[in-house]
Amino acid sequence: MNTLKEWVFFDEQQGDYERYQPAEERRVTGAPVNELWNHYSDPSNQFHAGVWRSEPGCWKVSYSEHEFCQILEGRSIVRDNQGNERELKAGDRFVVPAGFEGEWEVVETCQKIYVIFEPAT
C-alpha cells in the first residue's frame, strides 16, 4: 500500500534533469536547447510526468506516446503534416494522441508540464 510519502510534488524536488537538442536530421530551423526535469516514471517505464523547457527553434516530431501538456509560459506553433497549425500559449491544456506527426516550433522560450503514456510495443 502506498502512502503520501510516495506522492510526487514537482515544486518539492528537482526531478531527473536532462539537457539535449533535437537530433540534427529533425531540425527545421535553429538549434534549440531543450531541458527536461522528469519527476516521475512508473516501474514499467510507460508512464512519465515532469517539466519540459525549450529555447526557440523548430523541429520535426513523431509521437509514439500519448501526451497531456499544460503550457506554463512562452509561445509555440504546432503544425501537422497536412499543413494545419495551432498556436500554443500559457494556460493551454491539451492531449497529443500517439501517431501525431508534424513540426513543433518554439517562437518564445516555452515551458510545459507533461504527462506521458507510452503503450507497450
State residue 14's pLDDT score.
Answer: 87
Give the phi and the psi of residue 15 in degrees, each rounded to 5. Answer: 85, 160
CA dist 2 → 7, 12, 16 (Å): 9, 19, 22
pLDDT tens for each residue of 8-45: 999 998 899 999 999 999 999 999 999 999 999 999 99
For CA atoms 92, 117, 48, 24, the dihedral sign is negative
- Second-level CATH architecture of 15-117: Sandwich (2.60)
- The one-character DSSP state at 5 is G
pLDDT tens for each residue of 58-105: 999 999 999 999 999 999 999 999 999 999 999 999 999 999 999 999
Domain ranges for the chain: 15-117
Read off the pTM. 0.93
Cell (9 digits) for 86: 495551432
Contact status, residue 100 vs residue 63, Cβ threshold 8 Å: yes
3-class state of residue 10 by DSSP: helix
